[in-house]
Amino acid sequence: MNDNKSTPDISPPRLRFNIGATRIDCGREPSIEDYEGLETLDSYLVDYSRAQTTPDQEELNAWLLQQAIDGASILHVGAGNSSVARLSASRARWITSVTVSKNEKEVAESLALANYSCALINKYSTSFSNSLPAIRYDFILDNNLASFVCCQRHFETYMRGLVSLMAEDGILATHWLGMQWICEADAFRVDAAWRLDAHTLGIIADAFCLTTERHSDTFLIKRRKPSGR
C-alpha cells in the first residue's frame, strides 16, 4: 500500500550551494527567544543599542551616504544603535531595521522618526520577509549576513527573503569584517564555513542569481542582469 499521507518526508533538503557547512538543517524555527539571556551575558554580541557603531557598519554607512538615497527605501539588518536611521532619515523615504534585541528596538522607537520602524524578529526565521513592511528596498545593509546562522536551510531562507525584498536595481551591501566574524558563543557555535570570504560569498550570490562586486572591504550584491543588458 502506498500511504503517502502518513509517510513523513525524510528526504534531505535540496540545497542551492555548497560551501562546506556541516549543519544543514537545525530542525527548529529560529526565533528571538534563541537569544534570551545573551543580552545580559554577552551584551557585546547582541545588544548594541548603546554601543558604538562597529567599524564595518561605519564603512557601510559612509558608502550609503554617497549613494542616491534621497527618497530611497533602506533595510538595515542588525539595527544596533540605529546608526543608519539617524544618518539617513532626513533623506530616505523609508527605513526599516531588524533586530533580535528589545533594547535596540526601544532605542529605535525613542528616536521618534516618522519614516523609521524597527522589527523585532530573527532574520533566519521563515516569516522574516513577510513580517516587514511590504516595501521593495533600494538598499539593504547587513554587515553580519551569516555571523549568527543556525544552519544552511535557514540561511537559504534568509537569502530568498532578502532577494524578494530587494528592488529590481537594489543593492545588498555587506562588509569583510562582518563576513569574517562568526558568533562562537556556546548557544550558537556557528559553523566555521560561515566565515565568509570573497569566494564563498560569490558562490552564495550565484546560487540566488546575484553577483558580487568588491569595493575595498565593502561587498555589493546585485541582481544578475540577463546578458546583453
Q: Is the dihedral of CA 155, 157, 159, 165 positive or negative?
A: negative
Q: Which of 38, 57, 73, 204 binds ligand SAM (CB under 6 A)?
A: 57
CA 113/CA 96 separation, integer angstroms: 11
Look up cell 545593509; give the residue: 141
List, in sequence order, the alpha helices (H) in 116-197.
128-131, 152-165, 176-180
Give 51 or 209: the residue with its C-beta nearer to ligand SAM: 51
Of 99 and 223, nearer to ligand SAM (C-beta) is 99
Alpha carbon distance 95, 133 (integer Å): 10
- Of 149 and 223, the one with the shorter C-beta distance to ligand SAM is 149
Nearest distance from C-beta of residue 93 to ligand SAM, angstroms:
21
Tell which one of 69, 87, 98, 172 touches ligand SAM (CB under 6 A).
98
Residue nearest ligand SAM, CB atom distance: 80
Site for ligand SAM in 101-120 (CB under 6 A): 101, 104
Half-sphere CA count of 58, side-chain side, radius 13 A: 5
Using CA atoms, how far apart are residues 43 and 101, in angstroms rounded to an integer? 10
Binding part of the chain for ligand SAM, among 11-19, 48-56, 85-93, 164-172 by CB under 6 A, reads: 48-56
Comparing CB distances to ligand SAM, the nearer of 106 and 169 is: 106
- H-type alpha helices, the chain: 38-41, 43-46, 55-65, 83-88, 102-110, 128-131, 152-165, 176-180, 198-207
Quote the CA–CA distance of 174 and 166 in Å, as a whole number. 14
Among 72, 79, 190, 205, binds ligand SAM (CB under 6 A): 79
Out of 73, 82, 122, 200, name the contact with ligand SAM by CB under 6 A. Answer: 122
Strands 94-99 and 166-175 come out as unpaired
Size of residue set near ligand SAM by CB under 6 A: 19
Considering the rule CB under 6 A, would residue 88 count as an interface residue with ligand SAM?
Answer: no
- If the CB atoms of residues 118 and 201 are measured against ligand SAM, the closer one turns out to be 118
Q: Which of residues 162-221 bind ligand SAM (CB under 6 A)?
A: none
Cell numbers given for 82: 540605529
Residues binding ligand SAM (CB under 6 A): 46, 48, 53-54, 57, 78-80, 98-101, 104, 122-124, 143-144, 148
